């Protein structure tokens, strides 16, 4: 069996580490923080894992929250009109439940599980120099740390990266006390609220260090009226206040649910922005060796479609299968590139869909959103595309296919 080094203790790195460990490989994980530091730190992101991504965790026995009772069964869309009224509002039903487990909870637990089962954990924020020295000691080195100096090893792929500046200003808060939507009081659902030309507000029922909660997540268009959050970045209460002020102004139906909200903990807010981009997945070290990037290191989409953690799971699943099928042959540059290509083929549609959502929606997408409010099968199919984005290529991303599908559903009514 092979000796493998994984740098980074996030969704993709730890999922792959657990899968390889349970297949008999000797795996070392390098993490910048201990499990205690992860659990006690600031939130790292939003996340909602949909059915197919959760299946990749189940296959390696890493679905530790299957019996937690935290399940998301729907996904809904609302669109605000010029008077802050709902002009579109519907809920799609998910075929498989989704889950949002705070990455502080999940990654701390996975890191402890990996170590308890005999995995080697090294606490070190790896540099390029570290990798240059360590990589020759392993049969394969993977980089799953999406931040820090080592990401500079991976060059931007301009052919796959249409944006070179941030397309949204991001602000989020994890809160207790948010009430359920009165339209579906018995269904936990992700809610996408679109304020055309201004921002999107995504509400995600979640589970955090202090129990069940909700995530309030604004994606504001840079330079627009809601591009105001950066000034509050160092003050969690001020971040929450700005988020609620924006709800009061643009989405009063969501603000009504927030009368008694409070932050879940001192690290429950995050403010920032980054340019979505795709990078070349194979990088050369100064000494001439090669390392293979994973997940956000190579495909960093905007979180507007909620695919980041799902793509990370897809990446871990793709790489695990490739490594197991490769056997005892050397993990050379050709293997790395072929594996990266297999991952890209799996998530290219996610990048196309996400980038399309960052632009003003074309007429056929507006027609789909409107039709979903009239026809439940359209709402359900849209919702389940978050688990299986490949389905969008057969209708959502093509104007004629979309029109044909709407007409077909309408004729069956």
Q: In sequence order, what DSSP letters do the residues of 351-393 get, joined into one string?
A: HHHHHHHHSPPPHHHHHHHHHHTT-HHHHHHHHHTTT-GGGGG
Number of Cβ atoms within 10 Å of the Cβ of 365: 17
Helices (H), 195-268: 236-250, 252-255
Contact 282, 21 (CB under 8 A): no
Roughly what angle, to the nearest 10 degrees, separates helices 376-384 and 363-372? Answer: 120
User: What are the tokens at 364?
Assistant: 């056929």
Q: What is the pTM of this model?
A: 0.96
Number of Cβ atoms within 10 Å of the Cβ of 382: 22
**Among 257, 304, 264, which residue's Cα sits nearest to residue 163?**
304
Q: Residues of the chain whose pLDDT is less than 50?
A: none
- The domain defined by 3-63+101-163+276-358 folds into FAD/NAD(P)-binding domain (3.50.50)
Number of Cβ atoms within 10 Å of the Cβ of 357: 18
- The domain defined by 72-100+168-272 folds into D-Amino Acid Oxidase; Chain A, domain 2 (3.30.9)
The pLDDT of residue 173 is 98
Distance CA 125, CA 340 (A): 24
Contact 298, 339 (CB under 8 A): no
The pLDDT of residue 292 is 98
Distance CA 204, CA 100 (A): 7
What pLDDT digit, counting tens, does each position of 233-264 carry? 999 999 999 999 999 999 999 999 999 999 99
Contact 294, 311 (CB under 8 A): no
Residue span(s) of the chain under CATH 3.30.9.40 come to: 72-100+168-272
Strands (E), 260-337: 262-263, 269-272, 277-278, 282-284, 290-293, 299-300
Residue showing tokens 């729907």: 74
CA-based torsion, 253, 248, 244, 199: positive or negative: positive
DSSP-assigned beta bridge partners for residue 192: 77, 202
**Among 130, 213, 215, 225, which residue's Cα sits nearest to residue 169?**
225
Residue span(s) of the chain under CATH 3.50.50.60 come to: 3-63+101-163+276-358
The pLDDT of residue 96 is 97
Rg from Cα positions in the chain: 21
The pLDDT of residue 69 is 82
């Amino acid at each position: 069996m092979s000796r493998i080094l994984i740098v980074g203790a996030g969704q993709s790195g730890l999922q792959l580490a657990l899968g390889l460990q349970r297949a008999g490989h000797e795996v070392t994980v390098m993490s910048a923080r201990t499990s205690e530091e992860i659990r006690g730190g600031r939130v790292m992101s939003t996340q909602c894992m949909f059915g197919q991504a959760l299946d990749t965790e189940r296959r390696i026995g890493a679905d530790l929250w299957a019996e937690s009772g935290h399940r998301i069964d729907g996904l809904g869309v609302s669109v605000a009109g010029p008077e802050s009224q709902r002009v579109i509002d519907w809920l799609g039903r998910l075929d498989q439940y989704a889950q949002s487990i705070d990455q502080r909870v999940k990654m701390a637990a996975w890191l402890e599980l990996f170590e308890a089962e005999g995995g080697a954990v090294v606490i070190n924020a790896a540099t390029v120099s570290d990798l240059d020295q360590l990589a020759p000691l392993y049969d394969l080195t993977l980089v799953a740390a999406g931040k820090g100096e080592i990401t500079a090893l991976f060059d931007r792929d301009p052919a796959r990266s249409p944006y070179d500046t941030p397309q949204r200003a991001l602000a989020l808060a994890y809160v207790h006390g948010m009430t359920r939507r009165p339209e579906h009081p018995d269904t936990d659902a992700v809610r996408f609220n679109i304020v055309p030309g201004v921002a999107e507000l995504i509400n995600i029922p979640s589970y955090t260090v202090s129990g069940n909660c909700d995530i309030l997540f604004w994606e504001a268009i840079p330079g627009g009226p809601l591009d105001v959050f950066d000034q509050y970045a160092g003050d969690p209460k001020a971040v929450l206040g700005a988020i609620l002020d924006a709800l009061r102004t643009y989405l009063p139906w969501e603000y009504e649910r927030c009368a008694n909200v409070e932050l879940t903990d001192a690290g429950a807010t995050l403010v920032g922005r980054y340019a979505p981009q795709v990078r070349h997945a194979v990088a050369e070290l100064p000494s001439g060796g090669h390392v293979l990037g994973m997940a956000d290191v190579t495909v960093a989409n905007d979180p507007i479609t909620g695919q980041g953690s799902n793509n990370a799971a897809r990446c871990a699943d793709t790489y695990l299968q490739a490594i197991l099928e490769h056997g005892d042959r050397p993990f050379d540059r050709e293997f790395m590139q072929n594996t990266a290509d297999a991952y890209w083929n799996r998530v290219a549609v996610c990048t196309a869909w996400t980038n399309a959502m960052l632009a003003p929606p074309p007429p056929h997408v507006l027609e789909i959103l409107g039709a979903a409010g009239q026809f439940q099968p359209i709402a359900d199919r849209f919702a389940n595309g978050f688990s299986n984005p490949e389905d969008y290529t057969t209708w959502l991303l093509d104007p004629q296919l979309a029109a044909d599908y709407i007409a077909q559903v309408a004729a069956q009514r």
